[in-house]
Chain A
Amino acid sequence: MRTTRLFSVLAAVGLAAACGEGHAIFNVDVYSFIQGSGGDTLHYTVPPTLGGTVQNPPLSVTLLPGLGSSVVDTVQLTGMTAVQNATGSGQVGFKLYFAADSDSVYAASNTPILSTPTQNVGPGVDTVSLPLSGSFTSAQDSLFTQKKVYVGVQLQLQNTGAATVLDGRMQLTALQLRLVIKDKIF
């Protein structure tokens, strides 16, 4: 939350110095802010033959109110996550959601901003890297002109084993945000 507010204010400062039309481009190492906080991991346990999802509670991110008059040009996310499987075998997929309110984050109507193909993990101890890459649609871009946005991480899981619990954790190892805003910060 603090981070995103700072981003916006700094954009205003930068554009103030520029005094001209152009773009404010933010290359944000999001991972550096959540590394080691616990928010970069998601534990999963799925009984044999079953599927399911695990997700974190939506996190709110406060934006600068003045951004309402700005035009978000591009929002891109890239990163890497490692699925560190401990037991069992199955398939794992990663999804990242954004929404204007917390109830809508995991709503069926909400399209994930970032979604990876499912990957096979296991059996047993295994580590699989999932490259992350996604862009916001123009409709989703408008989220960044609001005062607050909610973020959710979800894993889709399927235990393909007959007897062993699929257990492990997702470890985020990199997450970069590229946000391009046209002027009219104020």
Chain B
Amino acid sequence: MRPTLVGPLLAVSLAVVPAALPAQLLSFDARKVGLGGLDLHRGGALARYNAAYRAVPSRPDPWHAKLTIPIPLGILQVLKDSTVLHPDSPYFNPLQAANYLLDLPIFYEVKKVPAPTNDITFGIGKNAFSVDLGAAKSAVPTDPFGFGGSSRPIDLGVGFAGFRVSAMMWLQDEVDFQLGNNLRGFLHDAQPAQTNTLYDVTGTALAAAGFAPSLGWAGRITGEGQNGVFVGVTGHYYLGLIYGQATADGGFITGDTLFGGANPVTPDLGEASQYSKFGNKMGTGIGGDLGVVWVTGPLEAGFGINDVGASIKWADTRRDTLYFDTNQNTTVSSLLADHVSATTKLPVTYLANASLDLGGGTLVGGELLHGARGTEIHMGVEQDVGPLALRGGVSRDQSRQIQFGWGGGIRFLFLSLDVGFATHSTPLSDQRGITMATSLSIY
């Protein structure tokens, strides 16, 4: 098989796609969506990130739900648009399919971000090649880009006298890419391609999963009734079940002639990986969560930090290397070392929040959430009007874009039906799209 530019460039285009994806909602709760992403009621992210909230007494709050179930109207949109997913369909669109895969639209897209009209100009000769992406070049990342973080999908435990014994499942994933200087100049700056030059993308990825037996305590330090200062601390003994990380550099080297030669490009691939399979000796480490909450009358403020000092040592890992052999036209892998140790760190996450009950059914608040991928800021207000709630909010997402949310809900007995609208953006347009979230809450 003679190497061509096709594969590498398609890979590059797919690598670029995430940069063009819209910033999306992170919550399935329409109430939170309507508040601009804010957790205004105790529970949710507040309890997740602040260990002290477990000790804060419940307050009369008609909108503090026990369970929230999203109503996935967005799935209907996908099903209606399903022809784009079928390769045999004349409407097949791999970009849209990839978009659905990477970003399953749970909620209904009321207004899509308008796709900008953009001309792309190619200059092509036997020994010349350039691409001017026009406005789309803003979607070509000049800095490292990726996604990742840590999560706790399951956290089960029992408590007594302020203590809590629990076991949580933890997940960590980090994926980063960076375009090489030559490729970045070619795509972003429309620099002409050069002969005998490497065009590459470097990437790093890490994934790990395990569980952590935990022991925590949360209680009041001072105050009485609803008021007081509450603190919480939880220690975790992390046990890692599976881990893997890899660093890769992939691309192609142009030939003596860009288009006319027998070998227009030569693939270039190098990768080093280290992993511990399920069944190997488990990784171990310790870490902790800390939190404090201050409540005085209508004012409430808190700060919680997770996974402090959470380093996990993996005692039994294997290191491999892989490269593309241009002579054999195949990849070659080899063992570098076996039964060696490695250490990973869970990213520290913290949440600072404050809320104020203004009376008359008006509750305002704000929070700052800092994780592995940057900082989000959410501010919102909720107004009760009998069985109705009206909500509004504003947020700054991790890409530093200002977004807006608004919505409402109606409460009936132990149920509420809520709707929330939120704006979102893409790097390719200065106009925002609007998503409508719907959910059912049980109180």
Residues of A within 8 A of B (CB): 2-3, 6-7, 9-29, 32-33, 35, 69, 186
Contact = CB atoms under 8 A, between A and B. Distances in A.
Contacts of A19: 17, 20, 95, 115, 136, 139, 426, 428
Interface in B1-25: 4-6, 9-10, 12-14, 16-17, 20
Contact of B118 (A7, A13, A22): A22
Interface residues of B, number: 41
17 contacts: A3-B126, A6-B124, A10-B9, A15-B120, A16-B13, A17-B13, A17-B133, A19-B95, A19-B136, A21-B118, A23-B119, A25-B120, A27-B124, A32-B127, A69-B90, A186-B94, A186-B95
B92 interface: yes
Contacts of A20: 115-118, 136, 428
A92 B9 CA distance: 44
Contacts of B94: 186
Given A16-B17, A17-B136, A10 B119 contact: no
Q: Which interface residue of B9, B119, B124, B136 has the most chain A CB atoms within 10 A?
A: B124
Q: Which interface residue of B20, B118, B139 has the most chain A CB atoms within 10 A?
A: B118
B187 interface: yes
B162 interface: no
Given A9-B5, A10-B131, A16-B13, A21 B124 contact: no
B122 interface: yes
Contacts of B136: 14, 17-20
A32 B5 CA distance: 19
Contact of A25 (B92, B95, B119): B119
B289 to A, nearest CB: 40
A150 B194 CA distance: 31
B259 interface: yes
Contacts of B131: 10, 14
Contacts of B17: 16-17, 19
A22 B120 contact: yes
B54 to A, nearest CB: 45
Contacts of B134: 18, 22
Contact of B260 (A24, A25, A33): A33
A12 B133 CA distance: 12
A7 B426 CA distance: 28
B77 interface: no
Contacts of B90: 69
Interface string B72-97: 00000000000000000010111100
